[in-house]
Each structure stands twice: as structure tokens, then as C-alpha cells.
Copies of this chain bind each other. A is one copy, B any other.
Amino acid sequence: MTGGATAQPDGAAARTRVRRLPHKQVHDVAARDALLRDALVAHVGVGLGTQPLVLPLAVAPDRGDGEDGDGPFERLLLHGSTGSRLFRALAEGAPACVTVTALDGLVLARSRFESSMRYRCLVALGRCEVLTGRAAERGLEVLTTHLLPGRTEARPPSRKELAATRVLALPLSEWSLKVSDDGPEDDPADLDLPVWAGVVPLHHVWGEPEPAPDLPPGLPVPPYLATWPGGRT
């Protein structure tokens, strides 16, 4: 019943079993990785004492050091300031929850009760590993390539900038994926109601690039922006 790509200890399996609407749980690593390719942001939760804190962070999936093949992703990369409370807790190995959600539409059933959302949601549990040295530099390159595909011309980080940046990796060893991509699942008794039912898709599309006010004249919009994949969230 768990979504792990690899064998998981029993405790881990129980923790990531989807309890609500379990038929929506998906064990397909390809579906998980498709969501991760679209993901720009994860919501990362840690406990600060008894108070959970949830913040949105840029995220990139990764295959691990030196692997640029096309196998399943092995971990999620995060980066942030060494001065951040959240990052300090994550770096100290606090139990974390990294949730990646794509909202794909609203599902309009004949009843309010069955109305819902079309979405994909990955929940990954675990503790982050701190990347340092060359692994941290490589992690930042993976993040840039994922978040800003094609943007090789931006100035790479200086020593000082690298020192101010914490790079973390959460192994994808304990995770679950829930996908709701159907239409309305109305109660049979409601099917004859004179109420329109269906799905209103929500699309995420790039707009027209806005040049910085201080951009010198003559610098064209980079051509790779026109090829950025839509649907990213």
C-alpha cells in the first residue's frame, strides 16, 4: 500500500499509506516523477517545538550525485539561507514533510458534497541531508537547470554566495502520491438532477516576459523562455 520506489521499513510503509480515498493513491514512479518535473515549489513542514511551520520553497528533483540519466528521481533538493530558522531545523535533521501539489482543476458534481478538486499531490517524509562542497555546488546547478531551464548565461555563485546558501537533499525513500484526475463521482440518486456536472481545468501558463527597468537596450529576450514547459506550479 505504500508509494515507495524502493523497499521501505514497515513503519515507513504505514506512515505513507493514504487513508482518505485510498483508491486515489498511485504507486507509479513515472507519475510521481512527472509531477516533480512540473514542480517549482514545495511546501516544507518542520516542527519548531510543538508548533509546525510550513513554508513554500523552490524545489528540484534529482537523481543523486553524478547521475544525469533518465531513471527515477532519488531525492528532492532545496536551497535557502544559512540564516533561516526553517533551514537550520532541516539541516539539524528535524523530521520533515515535503509536499508538492499541482492543482489541475475544480470538479463540479451535482451535489456540493461530491464536488472536489483535480490535483496531484506528493507527500515525502524524512530527514534532510546537508550537501557541502562540490555536492552543494552541483545541487545548486541542478536547481537552476530545473527552475530556469536553458539559463546558462547567468553569473554562477561566488564563494561568498555559496557560503551563504544551504543546500539540502531529502531522500525519496518514504513517500505517497495521490492523484485525482477523474470527473465528478456523483451519487447515482443525483444523476437525474438538472445540474451541469464536469470539470473546469486550471492551467498554469507563462506570460509575456517583463524586462527589468534597468536593462540596457539591445539585450533580447532569451529564446529559451519561449520553450519553457507550461503547467508548472
The minimal Cβ–Cβ distance linking A37 to chain B, given in whole angstroms, is 16
Is the CB–CB distance between B202 and A207 below 8 Å?
yes
Known pairs A45-B97, A197-B212; list 5 more (Cβ under 8 Å).
A47-B50, A58-B117, A198-B221, A199-B209, A200-B207
A190 and chain B: residue at smallest CB distance:
B155
Is the CB–CB distance between B201 and A41 below 8 Å?
no
The minimal Cβ–Cβ distance linking A118 to chain B, given in whole angstroms, is 10
> Given B95, B158, B210, B221, which contacts A183 in the complex, CB threshold below 8 Å?
B210
A19 and chain B: residue at smallest CB distance:
B85
A43, A44, A195, A216: residue with the most chain B Cβ atoms closer than 10 Å: A43
Compute how far the CA of A53 lies from the CA of B178 in the bound complex, rounded to whole angstroms.
Answer: 15
Residues of A within 8 Å of B, CB-based: how many?
95
Is the CB–CB distance between A20 and B81 below 8 Å?
yes
Is the CB–CB distance between A95 and B52 below 8 Å?
yes
29 A/B residue pairs, CB under 8 Å, sorted by A: A20-B83, A40-B103, A41-B119, A45-B97, A46-B52, A50-B95, A51-B125, A53-B123, A54-B123, A55-B121, A103-B233, A108-B148, A108-B151, A108-B154, A111-B161, A112-B155, A113-B161, A153-B194, A155-B193, A184-B212, A197-B211, A197-B215, A198-B212, A199-B209, A199-B212, A201-B206, A202-B207, A203-B205, A203-B207
